[in-house]
Amino acid sequence: MRLSAKDLEAFYASRLGKAAQFLMLKRLGDLWGDCKGLNMLGMGYARPLLTGYGESTRSCIAATPQLGEETWWAATDRGISTCLAEEDRLPFPDGSFDRIILLHAVEEADSPRAVLREAWRLLAPEGRMLVTVANRKSSWSLVEGTPFGHGRPWTRRQLIAYLNDHLLQVTASTTAVHLPPIKFGFMVSGAEGWEKVGQIFAPGLGGVVMVEAVKRMYAKPGSGAVAPVTALAKGRKGVAELPRKEAEVKCVEKRGKTRVDPAEQARSIKDVEQWEA
């Protein structure tokens, strides 16, 4: 069952939710910067990661499905517009956005393939997409009191392979939110310390997996390695081939030169002259 906007809003309004939001925004800032002058789209419940981009980007839109009567939340953020629509049928032209963020979208979608296909359609050529999902290896995916404990969690390897199969080239991946999912004050206040310790001793056990992918429309010249030819390809048994009618080649014997008798040639010329006369 998908969480409502009220439940998501309540979590990110708590101290634990604010700490998780801060840690994810820190990773996003290191990856993308301020995105000045770019068009940005958020899918799922991407408001926590869209915060701070409303003033620097050219346009910042949060597209979310109808999650209940409390879906008014994004309209309260400065510079962020709200679009209530199905994630796999968004009312935007192809290639409209330079940056797309998916948060609480893929793991809770009825069809992750349809969501990624729609995100690929809306992404501009060479645009970047950031997919953030719950980490299957972390304790966050086991706690139902947080949004990351709902839906289908992913490992980093699973998500990278899934994106590569959907015409996207993965360029960066990491985990974040190494803070334990405990709502104790002293635990939350040390979120940055937990993050530093987790990056050193348990880099793959963060609460969320963050994978960046680029929409490639063509292969750059010289970007791929040339595959060496190791052997000639042989005909495979059982493969249908077009019928070909080959002509039989016969050996042609070489004949010797014909020898002409001068007397016989003169007689033939004389007969022709008499006939013409």
Of the listed ranges 73-87, 112-126, 128-142, 185-199, the one predicted with least confidence:
73-87
What CA–CA distance (Å, rounded) separates 184 from 15?
A: 9
Where does 5-214 sit in CATH, by number? Answer: 3.40.50.150
How many other CB atoms sit within 10 Å of the CB of residue 35? 19
The residue type found at 17 is: G
H-helix or E-strand containing 16? helix 15-32
What CA–CA distance (Å, rounded) separates 199 from 180?
A: 13
Share of the chain above pLDDT 70, in %: 75
Contacting residues for 123 by C-beta, under 8 A, at least 6 apart:
95, 97, 100, 129, 215
Per-residue model confidence (pLDDT) at position 5? 78
CA angle 101, 70, 119 (to 5 degrees): 20
How many other CB atoms sit within 10 Å of the CB of residue 123? 23
DSSP category for residue 154 = B
- pTM equals 0.74
pLDDT band at 203 (very low <50, low <70, confident <90, very high): confident
User: What angle, 0 to 180 degrees and rounded to 10, lies between the N-to-C axes of helices 156-164 and 112-122?
Assistant: 60
The yes-or-no verdict on residue 1 having pLDDT over 50 is yes
What CA–CA distance (Å, rounded) separates 97 from 60?
A: 9
Sign of the Cα torsion 179, 183, 186, 189 reads positive
